[in-house]
Amino acid sequence: MKTNIIPAIRLTLFCAVFFCGFYTLSVLGIAQLASNSGKGEIITENRKTYHVNVAQAFTEDKYFWPRPSAVDYNGAGSGGSNKGTSNPDYLAEVEARIDTFLLRNPGVSRKDVPAELVTASGSGLDPHISVASALVQVKRVAQARNLPENKVSAVIAANTEKPFLGLLGTEKVNVLKLNLALNKL
Asked whether residue 60 carries a pLDDT value surpassing 80, the answer given is: yes
Evaluate the CA torsion angle 63, 67, 69, 70 in order and state its sign.
positive
Q: What is the pLDDT of residue 175?
A: 92
Distance CA 19, CA 35 (A): 25
Q: What is the pLDDT of residue 164?
A: 81
Give the residue from 139, 96, 141 showing the smallest Cα distance to 119: 96
Query: pTM for this structure?
Result: 0.78
Distance CA 136, CA 156 (A): 11
Evaluate the CA torsion angle 71, 91, 97, 55 in order and state its sign.
positive
Q: What dihedral do alpha carbons 175, 180, 184, 185 form, nearest 10°?
A: 20
Confidence class of residue 43 from pLDDT cuts 50, 70 and 90?
confident
Give the tens place of pLDDT for each residue, 75-112: 777 777 778 888 898 899 999 999 999 999 988 999 99
Residue 172, by phi and psi: left (phi above 0), alpha (psi -120 to 50) or beta?
beta
Q: Which residues pair with 151 in a beta bridge?
A: none
